[in-house]
Amino acid sequence: MRFIPTKIHGALDYVLGIVLIVSPWLFGFANGGAAQWIPILLGAGVIVYSLFTDYELGVVSAIPMTAHLGLDVVGGLFLAISPWLFGFADQVLWPHLIFGILEVGAGLMTSTTPYQSAQEIGHRM
């Protein structure tokens, strides 16, 4: 069931990207290891591919919404399993797991068709 509008998803993308980037300091795991860098890199990635997504809050309509949602699901799964994959589950677990599950959920519950594309809005470069 896809009930989240793409415009709402877009706003959540930018918020999630920023939260992921600051989460190591916000939740106290900024130690320079994988636990710190994975959310920072994924957060930056979410912001970049959101800017290039063909939806209401995209700037350049280069990535179809379906591909964007696929990136959300894959990135969320990676974030959720990263504590075990990289061996830091005994130090920090919950931010990665919770934000990963939320990202997967958003990817699975968002409409695949934007109400207005970035091109229609006039953001196309």
The Cα–Cα gap between 6 and 45 comes to 18
Q: What is the pLDDT of residue 122?
A: 60
The Cα–Cα gap between 97 and 108 comes to 17
Task: Output the tens digit of pLDDT for each of the chain's 125 residues.
Answer: 899 999 999 999 999 999 999 999 999 999 999 999 999 999 999 999 999 999 999 999 999 999 999 999 999 999 999 999 999 999 999 999 999 999 999 999 999 998 766 566 665 44
Q: Which of 8, 115, 113 is nearest to 64 (CA)?
A: 113
Do 63 and 42 meet the contact criterion of CB atoms below 8 Å apart?
A: no
- Sorted by sequence, the CB contacts under 8 Å of residue 89 that are 6+ apart come out as 83
At 20, list the tokens. 């992921």
Q: What is the pLDDT of residue 124?
A: 46
Q: What is the pLDDT of residue 12?
A: 97
